[in-house]
Amino acid sequence: MAEKVLMKGNEAIGEAAIQAGCKYFFGYPITPQNEIPAYMAKKLPKVGGCFVQAESEIAAINMVYGAAGAGARVMTSSSSPGISLKQEGISYIAGAELPCLVVNIVRGGPGLGGIQPAQSDYFQATRGGGHGDYRMVVLAPSTVQEAVDLVMDGFDIADMYRNPVLLLGDGMLGQMMEPVEFKERKPRQLPEKTWAATGWKGDRPRSVINSLFIDPAELERHNIKLQAKYDTIEKEEVRYEAYNTEGAQVIIASYGTTSRIVKNVIDDAAREGIKIGLIRPITLWPFPKEIFAKVVGQQTVKAVLAVEMSLGQMVDDVRLAVNGQKPVYFYGRTGGMVPRPDDILRQVKMILGGEA
């Protein structure tokens, strides 16, 4: 077993990427994720890789596009305003079907917003922040250990489906330290990158990295092919944690850092004889619809409460998944404010008391 080390979320994400074989990082600094590029700048040259601090986020994501097109394991990271700038490139990468990992350590918005943790980029992450009919796989860790595991899996998922993968954290996860273990893992059987543009020597058809399809019929065919891939991902890659859900009176839906606070609420409520369950989506896209449908169907469940560090984004997906079976309520703080356990518990009591 590997030794446990105490690491900051951001640094652990960097180390996990290197251990997953990531050789290239292109980025531009922004708080609260700066420890990721700093770590990569220090470590990548030692493993024969390359770190470039680009002149802008847009340059950085296009360097990722290029490296991914050449078949490299490549990543970039940023925080909310920087991720907005990268959306054009991400759309091109999705259109050209290239694998890469993008990390968003979310801060409060809109605009430049603030630098404290938030979850207000959920819509951007799960609806495709750029233009066109595309999807990114969105992974939402709640602990530093889970961030490490999901970074490693994220590269594999990207390669498996030739699709960008987004790791969605927040300032708290990036800045906090927790013990982590870099476990030996069994990599997936991944297809060979026969499509990579690595220099043509006449021994195979030319590889062309492209997202331009002028003929509408051809572009429609391309989109239908992408859609078939997204359908497969929806079948194969859904992840969630269902915690304390059996016989629960209220189900809280919450992801990432916020779900940790909800776990405290569950303990506090239990001491008062209230049973709360948690459904924590780990993949925000594909969203774990089926578990919601199953859990909220229980007779004991009176209502569902979505708790987020936003003014209500994931709650839309929760409503779609619950599909009218039970009422869905929302509680959130935003702008870098973090929900307090006692405030969440008060919401639960109001719901149970019919005051919400």
Partner 1 sequence: MNEQIIIAGFGGQGIMLMGQLLAYAGMLEGKYVSWLPSYGPEMRGGTANCNVIISDSPVGSPIVTEATTVIAMNRPSLDKFENSLKKDGLLLINSSLVDRQAERKDVRSYYIDANDIANQLGNLKVANMVMLGALVELTGIASIKTVLESLKKVLGPSKQHLIPLNEQALERGGLRVK
Residue 32 binds to partner 1 (criterion: CB under 8 A)? yes
Question: Which parts of the chain are beta strand (E)?
Answer: 5-8, 24-27, 50-53, 74-78, 100-106, 137-139, 164-170, 177-180, 240-243, 250-253, 276-281, 283-285, 303-308, 328-332
Q: How many CB atoms lie within 10 A of CB 168?
A: 27
- Pattern 183-202, binding to partner 1, x per CB under 8 A? --------------------
In the complex, the smallest distance separating the C-beta of residue 322 from partner 1, rounded to whole angstroms, is 25
Q: Which two tokens stand for residue 136?
A: 């990114």
Among 175, 310, 313, 334, binds partner 1 (CB under 8 A): 175
- Residue 172 found at the interface with partner 1 (CB under 8 A): yes
Nearer of residues 4 and 225 to partner 1, judged by Cβ: 4
Distance CA 75, CA 27 (A): 9
Residue with tokens 């999705």: 94
Work out the widest C-alpha separation in the chain, in whole angstroms.
Answer: 73
Q: Which of 19, 21, 29, 31 binds partner 1 (CB under 8 A)?
A: 31
Contacts with partner 1 in 104-123 (CB under 8 A)? 115-116
CB of 55 to partner 1, least distance (A): 23
CA distances from 151 to 145, 182, 218, 281, 319 (A): 10, 11, 34, 16, 29
* Whole-number Å distance between alpha carbons of 275 and 269: 7
Task: Identify which of residues 268 and 316 has a Cβ nearer to partner 1 in the complex.
Answer: 268
Nearer to partner 1, 144 or 152 (CB): 144
| Residue 244 DSSP one-character state | S
CA distance 159 to 151: 13
Nearer to partner 1, 124 or 142 (CB): 142
Torsion of CA 131, 311, 154, 292, to 10 degrees: -110
Choose the binding region for partner 1 from 182-190, 219-227, 228-236, 333-341 (rule: CB under 8 A). 333-341
Q: How far apart are CA 173 and CA 32, in angstroms?
A: 10
**Structure token pair of residue 220:** 């429609």
Question: What is the four-CA torsion angle of 148, 33, 49, 167, rounded to 10 degrees?
Answer: 40
Instruction: Give the residue ranges of DSSP H helices in 237-296.
Output: 256-271, 289-296
Q: Would you say 91 or 116 has its CB closer to partner 1?
A: 116
Binding segment toward partner 1, per CB under 8 A, in 123-131, 246-254, 261-269, 301-309: 261-269
Residue 178 interacts with partner 1 (CB under 8 A): yes or no = yes
How many other β-carbons are positioned within 10 Å of the β-carbon of residue 214? 6
Q: 169, 171, 277, 288: which one contacts partner 1 (CB under 8 A)?
A: 171
Answer yes or no whether residue 338 interacts with partner 1 by CB under 8 A. Answer: yes
Residue from 47, 177, 224, 320 touching partner 1 (CB under 8 A): that is 177
- CB-wise, 133 or 268, nearer to partner 1? 268
For partner 1, the closer CB: 71 or 339: 339
On whether the CB atoms of residues 117 and 107 are closer than 8 A, the answer is yes
231 binds partner 1 (CB under 8 A): no
- Cβ 203 to partner 1, closest distance in Å? 50
From residue 65 to residue 94, what is the string marking binding to partner 1 with x (rule CB under 8 A)?
------------------------------
Nearest residue to 139 via CA among 102, 186, 107, 114: 102
For position 244 contacting partner 1 by CB under 8 A, the verdict is no
Report, in Å, the least distance between residue 273 CB and partner 1. 19
Q: Decide: is 264 part of the binding site for partner 1 (CB under 8 A).
A: yes
CA 125 to chain centroid: 7
Of 3 and 203, the one with the shorter C-beta distance to partner 1 is: 3
When the beta carbons of 32 and 99 are compared against partner 1, the nearer one is 32
Residues at the interface with partner 1 (CB under 8 A) = 4, 6, 31-32, 115-116, 171-172, 175-179, 260-264, 267, 338, 340-342
